[in-house]
Amino acid sequence: MKIIYCYLTILMLTFNVNAKVITVNNASDNNNGNCELDCSLRDAIMTAK
């Protein structure tokens, strides 16, 4: 049983996760395709895909 726990621990430590923080700062639905200056919720979703 210890071997399984050790294997799972090593397996979990080897995964890399990359994430980008997207801040929604505009309440309008402009959908201009980028989130550099103003970012609506729709823009954030489209950027995250």
Q: What are phi and psi of 48, to 5 degrees?
A: -70, -20
CA distances from 40 to 2, 7, 46, 49 (A): 49, 43, 10, 15
Half-sphere exposure of 49 (CA within 13 A, CB side): 7
Structure confidence at residue 23 (pLDDT): 92
Q: What is the CA radius of gyration of the chain?
A: 19
Segments making up each domain of the chain, as ranges:
17-49
Q: What is the pLDDT along the chain (49 residues), one digit of tens a residue?
A: 888 888 888 887 777 777 889 999 988 887 777 788 889 999 998 888 8
